């Protein structure tokens, strides 16, 4: 729902003065901003109250030592609603389970688990429910990071809760004014701030990608690919095989020829650039904002035809000039661009491409049209991150300057990739507990398991889009058909890069 409408007003026949007094301008801006904030608050109130909660009240708890006998009604309602999907256990062995037939909850030491007994939460500190009421998803994740609750099956729990996300959100927003204010803050942030401007992007990238190369080396494995692998068919069972298949797929889609010059935007640790140079004979310039990535790339993936450097994609043209590259691609970087910079990104790539050039975009996308800046992943894992909606990509590709040649969705492969990363971490053996304390590790578990659940449910998905410049590559065969010719022959095409 758009909260901001911009109307074009007809020009007055009378010319306005060329300048206005500065105090007048400030006064007008102040009034407009105040009115806008009031309008946003009203919209938020309407949004969160238009669907009243239908949750029945919780019956009076038994007299025996119920930790929720003094809980707020909001916390009790959230606990009751969570019973729809999971059993709740307390550290002293008591259990609270939900009866879907009566839509009511009970609390008794003698209660048995629900049929989904593998999905349960061990409550160590009942304050977790107050934290959920006050901060929603963020409070739920923070309470896990702080050890307020545990579960033996984090991804299945997330999957079950996400399947009932609408009910949970409705209950939260009907119970908590703070949740409404967080929504208003998110709208204001999205509307008035550019979280990925030229000066801030570097800080956002470093906060995640420079946490430690030892962590990423253990998690990612020998290919050092911090993006979705491609489990193209059941015969691909290892992360290494799937990552190499993904690399071969991208090379095929780019239609590379020896001697070409290629730009890798957000090159990560440099493994993809090395592969393209070594196997396909091209020269690659890779840009990243992470000093740690550049350090590892120079140490492990050095190649005479690869230039890995710290540089913002918006500064590349100033050094290399327009039409400097035959191919441009980015893998897992567009999520850091930010919606306010989408046009800048596509325009920059268009200027950098030579005639008959090809651009490939590998990105996560979401079903949500409104991006929240108050969620756990955006707060703790990827500051400034924004997932594009498919409509955003369609609008960008519909500009006169681009042809969309191919769209490929393989989001389920990302769920497998995330599980493989978590398996590689194991019990974090060999990683310093001082450098990666327990709270960090629990945060990382939320990240990997929570995202795997989202991909498995197809709330988010992984897209590869191939673009060509409008009006060029005339007379060629259908590029989409050529790209699809790769499918089914991955094993043969990846023999050359297995190590």
Residues 140, 270 within the same domain:
no
- Residue 373 has what pLDDT? 60
- Residue 56 has what pLDDT? 37
Q: pLDDT tens digit string along 245-304?
A: 999 999 999 999 999 999 999 999 999 999 999 999 999 999 999 999 999 999 999 999
Other CB atoms within 10 A of residue 435 CB: 11
Q: pLDDT tens digit string along 353-406?
A: 999 999 999 999 998 766 566 688 888 998 888 899 988 888 887 777 899 999
Residues 114, 242 within the same domain:
no
Residues 211, 281 within the same domain:
yes
Residue ending a domain, among 149, 183, 217, is: 183
Total tally of structural domains belonging to the chain: 2
* Contact (CB, 8 A) for 136 and 179: yes
Residues 415, 483 within the same domain:
yes
Residues 366, 250 within the same domain:
yes
109 belongs to a structural domain: yes
Helix (H, G, I), strand (E, B) or coil at 104: strand
DSSP 376: H
30 belongs to a structural domain: no
* Contact (CB, 8 A) for 277 and 306: yes
Residues 241, 379 within the same domain:
yes
Residues 158, 265 within the same domain:
no
SS (H, E, C) 220-261: HCCCCCCCCCCCCCCCCCCHHHHHHHHHHHHHHHHCCCCCCE
The residue segments making up the domain with residue 144 are: 73-183
Distance CA 120, CA 73 (A): 22
- Residue 466 has what pLDDT? 96
| DSSP secondary structure of 429-441 | TTS-TTTS-HHHH
- Residue 410 has what pLDDT? 96
Residues 152, 215 within the same domain:
no
Residues 159, 214 within the same domain:
no
Residues 292, 166 within the same domain:
no
DSSP 389: B
46 belongs to a structural domain: no
- Residue 360 has what pLDDT? 98
229 belongs to a structural domain: yes
Residue ending a domain, among 183, 214, 247, is: 183
Residues 217, 142 within the same domain:
no
CATH number where 267 lies: 3.40.50.150
- Residue 41 has what pLDDT? 57
What is the pTM assigned to this prediction? 0.77
49 belongs to a structural domain: no
Distance CA 278, CA 459 (A): 37
- Residue 85 has what pLDDT? 56
Residues 205, 152 within the same domain:
no
42 belongs to a structural domain: no
Backbone angles phi, psi at 198, to 5 degrees: -55, -35
DSSP 55: P
Catalytic residue numbers read 451
60 belongs to a structural domain: no
**Which long-range contacts (C-beta less than 8 Å, at least 24 apart) are formed by 338-343?**
338/194, 338/195, 338/196, 338/384, 338/386, 339/190, 339/371, 339/386, 339/388, 339/392, 340/194, 340/196, 341/194, 341/196, 341/197, 342/388, 342/392, 342/396, 343/396
- Residue 384 has what pLDDT? 81
464 belongs to a structural domain: yes
Strand order in the sheet with 149-150: 104-108, 95-99, 87-90, 120-123, 149-150
Residue ending a domain, among 150, 183, 216, is: 183
Distance CA 383, CA 378 (A): 5
Strand order in the sheet with 353-366: 306-310, 283-288, 261-265, 325-331, 353-366, 460-469, 402-409
Backbone angles phi, psi at 10, to 5 degrees: -65, 145
Q: What is the pLDDT along the chain (499 residues), one digit of tens a residue?
A: 333 333 333 333 334 344 445 455 455 556 566 666 665 555 555 444 443 333 333 333 333 344 444 445 555 555 655 655 567 776 655 555 433 333 233 333 333 344 445 678 898 998 888 888 888 888 899 999 999 999 999 999 999 888 877 766 666 655 554 544 445 455 445 554 545 555 656 777 887 889 999 999 999 999 999 999 999 999 999 999 999 999 999 999 999 999 999 999 999 999 999 999 999 999 999 999 999 999 999 999 999 999 999 999 999 999 999 999 999 999 999 999 988 899 999 999 999 999 999 999 999 999 876 656 668 888 899 888 889 998 888 888 777 789 999 999 999 999 999 999 999 999 999 999 999 999 999 999 999 999 999 999 999 999 999 999 876 665 556 676 667 666 645 444 444 443 3
């Amino acid at each position: 729902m758009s909260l901001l409408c911009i109307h074009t007003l007809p020009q007055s026949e009378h010319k306005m003065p060329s300048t206005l007094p500065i105090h007048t301008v400030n006064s007008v801006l102040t009034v407009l901003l105040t009115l806008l904030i009031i309008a946003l608050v009203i919209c938020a109130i309407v949004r969160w109250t238009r669907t009243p909660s239908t949750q029945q009240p919780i019956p009076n708890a038994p007299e025996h030592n119920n930790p929720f006998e003094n809980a707020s009604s909001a916390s009790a309602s959230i606990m009751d609603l969570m019973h729809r999907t999971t059993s709740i256990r307390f550290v002293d062995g008591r259990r609270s389970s939900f009866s879907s037939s009566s839509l009511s909850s009970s609390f008794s030491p003698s209660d048995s688990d629900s049929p989904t007994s593998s999905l349960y939460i061990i409550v160590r500190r009942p304050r977790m429910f107050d934290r959920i009421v006050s901060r929603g998803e963020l409070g739920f994740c923070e309470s896990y990071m702080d050890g307020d609750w545990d579960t033996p099956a984090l991804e299945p729990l997330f999957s079950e809760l996400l399947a009932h996300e609408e009910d949970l959100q409705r209950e939260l927003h009907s119970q908590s004014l703070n949740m409404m204010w967080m929504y208003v803050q998110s709208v204001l942030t999205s509307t008035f701030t550019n979280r990925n401007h030229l000066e801030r992007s570097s800080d956002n990238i470093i906060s995640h990608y420079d946490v430690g190369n030892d962590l990423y080396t253990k998690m990612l494995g020998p290919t050092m690919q911090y993006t979705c692998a491609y489990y193209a068919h059941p015969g691909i069972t290892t992360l290494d095989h799937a990552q190499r298949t993904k690399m071969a797929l991208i090379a095929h889609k780019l239609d590379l020829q020896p001697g070409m010059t290629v730009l890798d935007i957000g090159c990560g640790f440099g493994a993809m650039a090395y592969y393209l140079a070594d196997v396909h004979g091209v020269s690659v310039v890779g840009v990243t904002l992470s000093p740690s990535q550049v350090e590892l790339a120079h140490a492990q993936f050095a190649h005479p035809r690869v230039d890995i450097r710290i540089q913002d994609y918006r500064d590349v043209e100033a050094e290399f000039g327009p039409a400097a590259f035959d191919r441009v691609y980015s893998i897992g970087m567009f999520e850091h661009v930010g919606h306010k910079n989408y046009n800048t990104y596509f325009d920059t790539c268009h200027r950098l491409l030579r005639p008959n050039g090809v651009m490939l975009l590998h990105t996560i996308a979401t079903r949500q049209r409104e991006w929240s800046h108050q969620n756990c992943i955006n707060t703790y894992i990827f500051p400034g991150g924004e997932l594009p909606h498919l409509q955003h990509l369609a609008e960008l590709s519909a500009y006169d300057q681009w042809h969309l040649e191919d769209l490929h969705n393989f989001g389920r492969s990302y769920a497998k990739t995330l599980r493989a990363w978590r398996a590689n971490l194991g019990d974090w053996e060999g990683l310093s507990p001082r450098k990666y304390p327990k709270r960090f590790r629990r945060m990382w578990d939320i990240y990997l398991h929570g995202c795997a659940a989202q991909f498995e449910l197809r709330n988010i998905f992984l897209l590869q889009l191939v673009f060509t410049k409008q009006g060029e590559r005339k007379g060629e065969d259908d590029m989409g058909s050529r790209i699809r010719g790769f499918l089914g022959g991955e094993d043969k095409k990846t023999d050359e890069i297995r190590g």
